[in-house]
Structure 1
Amino acid sequence: MQAQENVIWTSQSHNSSESMPVGGGDIGLNVWVEKGEVYLYLSRSGTFDENNTLLKLGRVKLKFSPNPFEGETFKQELVLKDGYAQINGANTQIKVWVDVFNPVVHLDIKSTQKITTEASYESWRFEDRITKGKENNQNSYKWAPQGIVTTAKDEIAFKNNGIQFYHQNKAETVFDVAVKQQGLEDRKSDLFNPLKNLIFGGSMQGKNMIPSGNYAGTYLNTPFQAWKLKSKSPSLNQEITIALNTSRTEISNWEKELYSINRSSNQKASIKWWNDYWNRSFIYINSKDERANQSSRNYQLFRYMLGCNAFGKYPTKFNGGLFTFDPQLTDSTLKYSPDFRNWGGGTHTAQNQRLVYWPMLKSGDFDMMKPQFDFYLDLLKNAEIRTESAWGHKGASFTEQLENFGLPNPAEYGWKRPANFNKGMEYNAWLEYEWDTVLEFCMMILETERYDNRNIEKYLPLIESSLNFFKEHYTYLAKQRGAKTLDADGHLVLYPGSGAETYKMAYNSTSTIAALKTVIERLIEQPNLAENKKMEWKAMLKTIPEISFRNFDAHTTIAPAKLWERINNTESPQLYPVYPWGIYGVGKLGLDTAINTFKYDKDVLKFRSHVGWKQDNIFAARLGLTEEAANLTTEKLKDSDRRFPAFWGPGFDWTPDHNWGGSGMIGLQEMLMQVDGKKIYLFPAWPKGWDVHFKLYAPYQTTVEVELKNGKIESLKVLPASRKADVLNMIK
C-alpha cells in the first residue's frame, strides 16, 4: 500500500455525508468532525430488526475541553496500510480503529496538555418510531405495509460505569407475515428464521470515565436522546471502547457474551491483517492521464470498504454496505432517520449483490466470499420447501428480491394477487420468472475451488438443487401445456423466463442458457463429484438449448432470448455470455459476433452507461475494446460527488453504491488480466500509455505480479513458476 493512497482532509466536515469509512472484522464506522466535535455512526453486519431494516447501532459523539479543533490545526487521515483513521487537532490526536478479530471499536486519545473528554451515545431509537410512506423502503414492507409499521425502541441505560444499548426483536417479525402471505404456515416449523430471538447492541466504556447525565437534541431532521460519559479528571490519555454483540439468545446470555468480549487495546494483529490484505493484491497506476490514477486509487479505497466486512455473518449489502448516512443528504426529500437505505436491509437483490462479490476472485479475497455463499446455503432448505409446496417438484427456487429467510420479498410477491395465482410466483412485472441469478453465486463457489483449491463439498447440494430446479420446473411447465416435455431437438423449453429484469416473458433467455450451460460444465469437472452424478449432469447439459441470434444492419449479434413479450428495464443480458459466463471473449470463437452485439445492438447502445450496476465497462474489457473499456471504467471509478472519493451513488440504488464500486473493480481487473482455462492474457484491453504495477490472482493457485512501463513489461512474477508458460502478453 502506497502512502499517497491515503485520504487526507485538512478541514472539518459539514455533515455525515462528508464522513470517512473506517472498519474491520464486520464493523463499519462513518467518522467525521463537525463544529469541533467528533462523530461516529456505528454499523455492523446482520443487525436486522423485526421489519428487516438493517439498523445502525447508534451514533457516538466526542467533545473535548479545551477544544483542540477551535484553532487552525486540523487533519483527518485514513491510514489505509494499517486500516485506521487518525484525527489531529491542536496538541491532540485521536486514533479510531476497529479490532479485526474482536467486535470492538477503539477510540485512543492522546494530548500534550490535560483535557477533559466527554463521550456520548446518541440514539434516535429512544422511543417506538412509526415509519410511513417511502421510509418503509428501508424494510421488507416497502410500498405495501399491512397496517402500521413500527421500528421498536432500543433499551439504553448506564451500566458498569458505561452505557449499554441493545435492540431485541419482538416475537412476531416480517418472517411470520411472509410465511402466512405465501401459504407456508403448514411448514413454518421447518423453516429457517434468522430474525427470531435476535438481539444486537453493545456497550461503551472509558477508562476513568463515569456516567454524566443525559441530553436531547436533533441532528438534521432526526430527534435523539443522549447518554454521556465524562472523564473523572483531565488527563493526557483517554481510551474509549465500544464492544458490540449480536446473538440469537436470551438477554441475560447476551449480556454475559457482551461483557466477556476482549477489549484489549493491542492493535498489532489488526494492523498485520490489513498489511497482509494490501500485500495480497493491488493495482497501482501511474499515468499522465489523471483519470487512470484516480481509478487506481478509488479501486483501493473501495476494496478497503469491502475489507471492513471480511468476517461478517452476512454479505456486504450492495445498497450502502456498512457506510450509509442520513438519507436527506442523498435525497433531500427523504428526511428520515440514519437507519434508512433504499431497497431494504435484509432483502437480497442478487442481480446487484453479484457485482460486489465477483471481483474478490482476482483480488484473492476468497475468505471474504464465505458470507455470501453461506447466505444461500442457509436458505437452501427454505427454497426447496417453497418449490415443493408451490409446484410439487424438487429443486431450490431462489427468486430475485429474496429475503434473508429465503422467501420472496412480501411487497414484490404482491398482496393484491389474482385468485388462484400460483403461490410460488412473484406477482411483479420486473421479477416474474427471474430465478437464474443464484447461478452466478454457484459459479463463484466453483471458481473458488478452481482459483484457490477450496473445499466446496458442503456447497455442492446448493449448486445441484439450484440447477435441478430448472430441469424440474421447465419439465413441469411443459407438461401443463402439452404431451411433450422437450422441443424437437430434445431441449428444455425455457418458457416463461426472463432476461435479467429487462426482457420479460422470454422464451429461451440467453442469460439463463449461458448460466445453465457454464455451471453444469464446471460442476461436471468437480473432482469429488460421484460418477453417477456426473452422468446425470451430462444428460442435463444435452437438454440446454442453444443461444439465439439476431441481426442489426447485416451484423449478426447475440439475441437476449429466442422471443420476448416486452422490455421492462435497461440491462443488457445479451452480453452475459461475455460476462460473467465467458462463452465469448478474447481468444475465443465468435468474438466478432459478441463485438457486433456491443457495437450494433440498438438496446445495448440505448442502455449504455457507467452508472451504478451497469456492466458496459466490463463487457468492453472482456471484448478487448481498449478505448471503450478505458473510458467506461475511468468514468465509473472517478471520484464520487461526495467528500470521500469512493462514496458513489445513489445510481439506481443508494449511497455509497457498492455495486457501482464492484463493477468498477471488475472492469479494471479485466482490462489488466483475463483467464481462459489455463491461459492467462495480460493487458487484453490496456492503454499503452498507462504504467501500472499490479498483483492479481488466476486459477490454479496462481498469482501474477507485473510492472509495465512505457508499454513494456519490466517485471513479471508468476507463482508457481510453472504457470509462466501459460501467460500471453497482449499489449499492443
Structure 2
Amino acid sequence: MSWRYLCLVLFLGFESLSAQTDLEKYNVNWETQSKNSAESMPLGGRDIGLNVWVENNDILFYIAQSGSFDENNTLLKQGRIRLRLSPNPLEVNFNQLLRLKTGDILIRGGKKGQETEIKLWVDVFSSAIHVQVNAAQKIESEIFYENWRFEDLFPKGRENNMNSWKWAPPTEIVTKSDRFEVSPSVFYFYHQNTAETAFDTVVEQQQLTAYKDSLFNPLKDRISGGALSLQHLEFKDTGFGKYQNTAFKYWRFSSKAARSHHFQLALYNGQNTLAGWKSTIVKRIQSPVRKSAQSKTLAWWANFWNRSHIKINYEKGEADLGFRIGRNYQLFRYMLACNAYGEYPTKFNGGLFTYDPVSVDSIYTFTPDFRNWGGGTFTAQNQRLVYWPMLRSGDLDMMPSQFDFYNRLLDNVELRTKVYWGHRGASFTEQLENFGLPNPAEYGWKRPADFDAGMEYNAWLEYQWDNALEFCYMIFKYYRYSGQDISRYIPLVESCLTFFDEHYQYLASQRGRKVLDEKGKLVIYPGTAAETYKMAYNPNSTLAGLRRVASELTQLPDILLSAERKEFWKEFLNRLPEISFREMDGATLIAPAIVWERMNNTESPQLYPVFPWDMFGIGRDSLSIAKNTYLLDPDVQKFRSHVGWRQHNIFAARLGLIDEAKDLLSKKLDDSGRRFPAFWGPGFDWVPDHNWGGSGMIGLQEMLMQEVGDEIYVLPTWPKEWNVDFKLHGMDDNILEGAWKENEFIRLEMKNRTKKIIK
C-alpha cells in the first residue's frame, strides 16, 4: 500500500457512514433447539447477563449480575428461569433469533396461523428482565424459578477455583444457602452474606487485623438477588429436580390462559440491610411497565451500534472467513455491552455468560456458579485486554467501572504499603482481591517465618506490581479520547508511580549504602517481566510503563496537575533507566530485561514497549528493532499463538506484519467451535474467554487504524484482498470512517477534527 500524506479532512466516494450500520446479517439465528446450556445465546443490558436457550420445548435462562459476590467471593448466578407454555407452540416451526440492533432475543413457534412469539430483553436503565409472550390463541404459562443453593453446599478440590480459596482453602468451605420468600405480589430470591467472609480471613492471614476496621470491605452486608413480579401469576408449589449434574429446587408459578403475557424480574445487589434491599427491589419490580422503558432501551442500543463498526467481506456471508471475523467482532462487542454500567468491570474469565461447567470440561461436575480463576479475584494481565478495545470502538461510557475498581481500593493498598515497608505508594499485586489484598492462595499459607509479609510467596507473581500502570495509561487515553474529567483518578496514578519510586529505593537500601546506581538511576531489582522473566534486573515492560505513565502526567493541563507536581515527575523520568537491548544474529532486539534468573510463564513482555506502551511501531523510531524482536527472539517465536490472552496478533498489527497479523487474527476471531460463535475458550481461563475476544478486537482495530501523534495511519496492516467497511474512534474527538473494496478506497472520511492521514 502506498503512503500519502493528507493534511485535510479526506472524503472519497459516496454517502457518509454516519447512519447506523446494517447488522441484520450478523444476527444469530437458530432453527433447532439446544441440547443444553452450552448451546445458549447471550442477552443482557446495564449490568445483567442471561444465557438463553430452548431445550425440550422449555425456554430457559441463567441470570447473572455484576457484583454478586458471596462470603467466599464467588460471583454467584442468581438462579435459572424455565418458561413452559401450554399448548406448547415450540414443538413446530421453531426459531430463536438474537437481534443485535435491538438487543433482544425472539423465540417463535407454532403452526401457520397459530404462531407464538416470545421476546426477551433487559432494561438498560433499571436492571430489569422482561419476557413478553404474544400468541395467536390463548395459552397458559408456567414459570419455574430454579436454584441449586437451596441448601448449604460444600465445594471441594477444584471447585474452589470459583472463589478466593482456589487450591488452598484454609478450612472446610461452605457456600451458604440462599433465601426465598413468596408474598402476594412478589417472589424474592437473594443471598445475604454472613458476618464472616473471605475478607476477614485474608486480613488476618496478611497480618493486617489491627487495621481491619479502616479497610474497604465490599463483602460486608452484601445482598445479591432479585424478585419476580407476581402480577398475573399464582404461586402453585415447590419441588426438586436435577439439571446436568446439579440438584435444584424450584418454585412454580402459573398464569391464566391469555393471548399475551408479560413477566418481569428485577435484580439488585449492594451493601444494605435486608429491609433496604427489599425496598429497592420492590420499587424496581412494582413500577409500572411503560412503553417508554423499552423505547429508551432501543434508543440506547441504536446509539451503541452507531458509535462504531467493522464489517469485513460483508457481502459474502458466513461461509467466508473475513465475514465471520467481522461478525464475531460485533458479537463480542455486544457481549461487553451487556455489562455496560455494572458496579464491577466485566471479568476476563467468562463475564456474565458462564454456564454449567461440565459442558466445558467433563471433570468439572460443579454448579453453574463455577468459573476458573475466581469471581472476586481480578487478574490485571487479563482484564486489560477486555478494556483496551473500548477506546477505538467509542464505548468510553463502559470504561469507568474498571477505573473505579482500582480507585476504590487505593486506600487499602496504600495502607498495606505503609504497614509492610514504611513508605508511600499503591502496591497493587497481580491476582488481586476486590478489597485490594493479594489472593490468599497466591499469597501463600505456608510461608517462611521471616519472609517479607508484603510479598506474595509465589514463583509466578512475586514482584509483579506494574499491571496497574496499564490502567493508569488507559485512564489518560480515555481522557484524550473523551475529554472527560479524570481528576478523581490522578491520585491513583501518582500513587502507583510513587510506589515504584520509593519501593525500589527502599529495596536498594536493604542491599547496600546507595539507593541509585552509579548514573543516578533507579534500579528495578528484583523485578519481573510479566509472569515470565523472573527476578529480573530492569525489566523493560516495567520501565516502559513507568516512562509512559510519568510522561503522560507531565503533559496534563494545570487544572489537572500542578506545575510543581509535573516538575517532580519530570525529575522522576530522569531517574528512570533507559530501555535495554540485546544482539542476536547481528540484529538489535528489545531485551526482556538486562538479566533474569529464570522463566516461569510463556508471555512476550519484550514486546510490551510496542503494545501497550506505544514506544516502538509503525510511525515511530526503531521500527526495525521491534520487528527484529518479533521475528528473531526465540522466546517470542516459541510462544507465538492466538490462544487466550496471547497478544501476538496485536504485536504483528502494530509492526505492519500483514501476513502474520492476518493469520493470527483469523485464528483469534474465527468461530469458537461452540454453538454461539463468540463463546471462545477455555484457553488458559474459562468459557467464554473474554481476554481471547478482547485481544482479537484490539488486533483487528490496529490492523485498520493506528494513531501516532498528529498522524493517523489507515489500513497500515490490512490484507488487500479483504473488503472492509469501518468506523473507529481516535483521540481528540476524531472519528474515522472508511470503505476499502476491490483493492482501493471507495470512501474515507475523518470527522470532528483534522489530523494528518497516512494511507
Q: What is the TM-score with the length of structure 1 in the denominator?
A: 0.98
Q: Which amino acid aligns with 2:81?
A: V
Which ranges in structure 2 are unaligned for 5 or more consecutive residues?
1-21
Of 392-401 and 262-271, deviating more is: 262-271
Over residues 530-585 of structure 1, what are the superposed CA-to-partner deviations in whole Å (9 max), with x where a residue is unaligned? 01001100000011111111222222111101110111000000000000011000
Of residues 25, 28, 33, the one that matches 2:49 is: 28
Structure 1 residue 454 and structure 2 residue 484: aligned? yes
Matched-pair contact (CA < 8 Å) for 1:5–1:80: yes
Which residue is equivalent to 2:16?
none
Over residues 449-473 of structure 1, what are the superposed CA-to-partner deviations in whole Å (9 max), with x where a residue is unaligned? 1111111000000000000000000
Which residue is equivalent to 1:284?
311
Residue 161 of structure 1 deviates from its aligned partner by 3.5
Matched-pair contact (CA < 8 Å) for 1:81–1:275: yes
* Distance in 2 of aligned mates of 1:263 and 1:680: 49
Of residues 273, 282, 298, the one that matches 1:271 is: 298
For 1:552-631, list aligned pairs within 5 A: 552-631=584-663
Which residue is equivalent to 1:5?
26
Residue 263 of structure 1 deviates from its aligned partner by 5.5
Over residues 25-83 of structure 1, what are the superposed CA-to-partner deviations in whole Å (9 max), with x where a residue is unaligned? 00000000001100010000000000000000000000111111222x11100000010
Of residues 372, 387, 390, the one that matches 1:360 is: 390
Which residue is equivalent to 1:243?
266
* Distance in 1 of aligned mates of 2:455 and 2:272: 34
Structure 1 residue 74 and structure 2 residue 94: aligned? yes
* Distance in 2 of aligned mates of 1:672 and 1:641: 26
Q: Which amino acid aligns with 2:75?
A: L
* Distance in 1 of aligned mates of 2:567 and 2:710: 25
Which residue is equivalent to 1:84?
104
* Distance in 2 of aligned mates of 1:582 and 1:398: 23
Q: Secondary structure at the match of 1:445?
A: helix
Q: Which amino acid aligns with 1:390?
A: Y
Which residue is equivalent to 2:80?
59
Which residue is equivalent to 1:47?
68
Matched-pair contact (CA < 8 Å) for 1:241–1:263: no
Residue 206 of structure 1 deviates from its aligned partner by 4.5
Matched-pair contact (CA < 8 Å) for 2:184–2:230: no
Matched-pair contact (CA < 8 Å) for 2:455–2:462: yes
For 1:286-685, list aligned pairs within 5 A: 286=313, 290-527=320-557, 528-685=560-717
Q: Secondary structure at the match of 2:44?
A: strand
Q: Which amino acid aligns with 2:571?
A: A
* Distance in 2 of aligned mates of 1:548 and 1:329: 46
Of 95-104 and 245-254, deviating more is: 245-254
* Distance in 2 of aligned mates of 1:179 and 1:247: 21
Matched-pair contact (CA < 8 Å) for 2:442–2:457: yes
Name the Cα RMSD after superposition.
1.0
Matched-pair contact (CA < 8 Å) for 1:207–1:238: no
For 1:177-196, list aligned pairs within 5 A: 177-196=201-220
Of residues 743, 749, 756, the one that matches 1:711 is: 743
Matched-pair contact (CA < 8 Å) for 1:121–1:163: no
* Distance in 2 of aligned mates of 1:178 and 1:421: 17
Q: Which amino acid aligns with 2:698?
A: I
Over residues 307-338 of structure 1, what are the superposed CA-to-partner deviations in whole Å (9 max), with x where a residue is unaligned? 00000000000000000000010011000000
Q: Secondary structure at the match of 1:120?
A: strand
Residue 713 of structure 1 deviates from its aligned partner by 1.6
* Distance in 1 of aligned mates of 2:743 and 2:650: 22
* Distance in 1 of aligned mates of 2:483 and 2:743: 34
Q: Secondary structure at the match of 1:513?
A: helix
Q: What is the TM-score with the length of structure 2 in the denominator?
A: 0.95
Q: Which amino acid aligns with 1:264?
A: V
Residue 205 of structure 1 deviates from its aligned partner by 2.1
Q: Which amino acid aligns with 1:7?
A: V
Q: Which amino acid aligns with 1:77?
A: L
Which residue is equivalent to 1:686?
718
Which residue is equivalent to 1:15?
36
* More contact order relative to length (CA 8 Å, sep ≥ 6): 2
Matched-pair contact (CA < 8 Å) for 2:187–2:230: no
Which residue is equivalent to 1:126?
150
Which ranges in structure 1 are unaligned for 5 or more consecutive residues?
none
Matched-pair contact (CA < 8 Å) for 1:610–1:636: yes
* Distance in 1 of aligned mates of 2:323 and 2:583: 39
Q: Secondary structure at the match of 1:478?
A: helix
Q: Which amino acid aligns with 2:289?
A: S
* Distance in 2 of aligned mates of 1:587 and 1:727: 12
Matched-pair contact (CA < 8 Å) for 1:703–1:718: yes
Q: Secondary structure at the match of 1:150?
A: coil
Q: Which amino acid aligns with 1:225?
A: K
Q: Which amino acid aligns with 1:226?
A: Y
* Distance in 1 of aligned mates of 2:343 and 2:247: 31
For 1:94-173, list aligned pairs within 5 A: 94-173=118-197
* Distance in 1 of aligned mates of 2:289 and 2:165: 41
Matched-pair contact (CA < 8 Å) for 2:185–2:231: no
* Distance in 1 of aligned mates of 2:553 and 2:85: 60
Q: Which amino acid aligns with 1:464?
A: E
Q: Which amino acid aligns with 2:403?
A: F
* Distance in 2 of aligned mates of 1:420 and 1:174: 25
* Distance in 2 of aligned mates of 1:570 and 1:551: 21
Which residue is equivalent to 2:17?
none
* Distance in 1 of aligned mates of 2:229 and 2:87: 22
Matched-pair contact (CA < 8 Å) for 1:104–1:263: no
Matched-pair contact (CA < 8 Å) for 1:163–1:227: no
* Distance in 2 of aligned mates of 1:469 and 1:13: 52
